[in-house]
Amino acid sequence: MKAWRVVLLTLSFLLLGGCLVTFHEPLPSNQAAPKALLGKWSSKDAWGEPLKLTISRSGGDAYKAVATAKGKAPEEYTFTVSRHGNRWYLSAGVPKRLGGNFLIGGFDIIDGKELVVYNLDIEQVQQAVEHKELTGRTTQVPEENGEGVLIDSPSTRVLAYLDDPANSDLFVEVARFQRSGK
């Protein structure tokens, strides 16, 4: 597995089947991440190999995730967080080779011991574009040979869509990490 995919997985940015939902702009960061997000986490990838994730503050309103997969060099990514209603969101830049723009995911921390990360369901986002709830277009994900969706709605409209209780099933769990170390 490519190292950048490990990071995308760990931050809910799985390229599920080559599908990727990207946004022209990140969600605005509106408060600090919960302290329980910071620290060391561990899990296993789809092949049962260990994954390690360390999340720390990077300065300002940014956070740094360093992901390490067995036999791979650590990869580092920067992201921001937002809280709206009862949901925590994160936004991160997409590498230029994958089209650039931004990814948006969700996360929950359960009892400070478990980190659950979520990705957007691409089919539901495509339907939202078809029904004009969001504006965007279909894209090709260069390295994955898959289809993606690029949303160009302003962040206020994106947040209204994400926060709508009718869209509560929009997020799909993609990873579950356990707290490791202190």
What does the block give as tokens for 138? Answer: 């279909």
Of 126, 136, 102, 133, which is closest to residue 28 (Cα–Cα)? 102
5: pLDDT strictly greater than 60: no
Write the single-letter amino acid at 59: G
> Of all residues in the chain, what percent carry a pLDDT higher than 90?
46
pLDDT at 93 (0 to 100): 87
Range 112-137 average pLDDT: 93
106: pLDDT strictly greater than 80: yes
Q: 62, 55 in Cβ contact below 8 A? A: no
pLDDT at 145 (0 to 100): 52
**Digit-coded pLDDT (tens) for 13-61:** 333 334 678 899 999 888 899 999 999 999 987 788 899 999 999 988 8
- Residue 172 sits in which domain range? 3-179
**Digit-coded pLDDT (tens) for 66-87:** 988 888 889 888 899 999 888 8
What does the block give as tokens for 123? Answer: 């089919």
Based on the structure, what is the number of domains in the chain?
Answer: 1
- As a residue count, the chain comes to 182
Range 142-170 average pLDDT: 84
For residues 9 and 35, what is the distance between their CA atoms, to the nearest angstrom? 21
Cβ partners under 8 Å of residue 73, min gap 6:
3
7: pLDDT strictly greater than 60: no
For residues 42 and 17, what is the distance between their CA atoms, to the nearest angstrom? 23
What does the block give as tokens for 174? Answer: 């993609």
Looking at per-residue pLDDT, the higher value among 90 and 142 belongs to 90
Q: How many CA atoms, within 13 angstroms, populate the side-chain half-sphere of residue 154?
A: 2
